[in-house]
Amino acid sequence: MGKILIVEDDVAFCQMLETFLRKKKHEVTVAYSGEEALRKIKSNTYQIILTDVRLPEKDGNFILNEVTENYPETKVILMTGYAEVNMAVNAMKEGAVDYISKPVQPEQLLASVEKALAIKTTPKAMAKPAKSKTSSKPLTEAKYVKGVSDASKKLNNYIQLVGPTSMSVLIIGESGTGKEYVAKNIHNQSKRSKEAFIAVDCGAIPKEIASSEFFGHVKGSFTGAVNDKIGHFEAANNGTLFLDEIGNLSYELQVQLLRALQERKIKPVGSNKEVAVNIRIITATNENLKEAVEAGTFREDLYHRLNEFSIQVPSLKERNEDIMLFANFFLAKANRELEKEVVGFSDDTITLLTQYQWPGNLREMQNAIKRAVLLTTETLILPEVFPENMLSYNSDKDEKDYSLFKNKNEEEMIINALKETGGNKSKAARLLNIDRKTLYNKLKQYEIEL
């Protein structure tokens, strides 16, 4: 385990990081200013220094320079707000081994720390890596993004609550919001997590072979059945069967599905033998199934069987705080797939990403960022590599623009945002398109008291 110094002037956040890393068996020391950090560095040996970029007295860059010059075996990881990406990029050129964006994701932090501990060379050597397919990537890619917005917290809470149960779950959300990701997380938190997770797109199965796809068939049962086939139900036995776009099932198949769920048995096409199955069903839709029930196109008894617990997945425009978390996640993924080393996003690009409405949600963002990475020849992604529809996007002119980057009267905008949110600083920060720490600094700067 590592010996880590955390340098962060936000006391509550610093203590949270300390607690988290201690639980992971690391030896942790904290400092609340650059001067305090330098004193501790001179009298102690640390494997990793985890420092905020913006600090009172000596900032994170000063600490980085001091460490790389005098303590080359110590690795430095920077924590930075999204508006400070350029600063982080320059710091990495000076020898930082990684940077993580605020708000910090615990999984990303842990991955970054473990990566730094695994580095045997000095930060100076890491600063100018040779161009190769296996060279170290600047961004650490987490396995998934939980999000930090209120909508994401509610979603994750529901996943944690229903995951360990055996309840059937209906996931509702717009196209591209990540419904399969939610289903997979429910499966991972269940007692079936070590068993199969079978995902099926109900809209992609031709009606003629749907029964065979779901329940299997025996050789010779129909033209083209040259071998026995195991269906999705049997393949998912003891595990989880995820049926995406469940509203696309034909009425006939709905009847068969209901029987299978009630009896916990299936009968392959052309067979006289029933096969017992023990599966959990998770379904998803971007349609209103209640309206389909009322219209008579979806069976009411099946609807209630599938909807023992429902989860609404928020659209990306409802998760503004998460936009850059997802953007960095997709950037790391695109870097790996395209064998590139794009470090981050320019300030103008960050503004573009956070103000665009993302009608295609996460799927649209992933595609847009992968395209941008492919077209980017610089260190940072610039706005011009994004599709024209994003660049020409104009928000509703009647809607209030609270962006501090576009309105010079910051103090008035902050006061209005706080009034509109009833003094809730977190919501006001989201409305202003800034993080909470920036808002607190602005409150102090303008001497705004609530």
How do residues 36-93 score in pLDDT, each as one tens digit? Answer: 889 999 989 999 999 988 787 788 888 888 898 888 889 999 887 644 555 556 666 6
**Cα(140)–Cα(115) distance, integer angstroms:** 9
Band of residue 233 on the pLDDT scale cut at 50, 70, 90: very high
pLDDT of residue 417: 82
Q: 338 or 146, which is more confident?
A: 338
pTM more than 0.85: no
Band of residue 300 on the pLDDT scale cut at 50, 70, 90: very high
* Cβ within 8 Å of residue 223, ≥6 positions away: none
Q: How many CB atoms lie within 10 A of CB 276?
A: 10
Alpha-carbon distance values, 185 to 11, 133, 155, 217 (Å): 32, 31, 11, 31
Mean pLDDT to the nearest integer, 211-221: 87
pLDDT of residue 124: 41
Contact, 349 vs 356, CB < 8 A? no
Q: How many CB atoms lie within 10 A of CB 298?
A: 22
Contact, 394 vs 388, CB < 8 A? no
Work out the widest C-alpha separation in the chain, in whole angstroms.
81
Long-range contacts of 300-306 (CB under 8 A, 24+ apart): 301/258, 302/254, 302/257, 302/258, 302/261, 305/168, 305/258, 305/261, 305/262, 306/168, 306/170, 306/246, 306/281
pLDDT of residue 398 exceeding 50, the answer is: no
In sequence order, the β-bridge partners of residue 281 are 241
Torsion angle in degrees (nearest 10) through CA of 168, 172, 176, 182: -40
Percentage above 90 pLDDT, the chain: 41
Q: How many CB atoms lie within 10 A of CB 345?
A: 25
Q: 88 or 136, which is more confident?
A: 88
Residue with tokens 């963002």: 365
pLDDT of residue 310 exceeding 80, the answer is: yes
Structural domains for the chain? 3-127 (3.40.50.2300), 150-313 (3.40.50.300), 318-382 (1.10.8.60), 395-450 (1.10.10)
pLDDT of residue 231 exceeding 70, the answer is: yes
**Cα(382)–Cα(350) distance, integer angstroms:** 9
Contact, 116 vs 74, CB < 8 A? no
How do residues 12-44 score in pLDDT, each as one tens digit? Answer: 778 888 888 888 889 999 998 888 889 999 989
* Cβ within 8 Å of residue 288, ≥6 positions away: none
The residue type at 404: L
Half-sphere exposure (Cβ direction) of 180: Cα atoms closer than 13 Å: 14
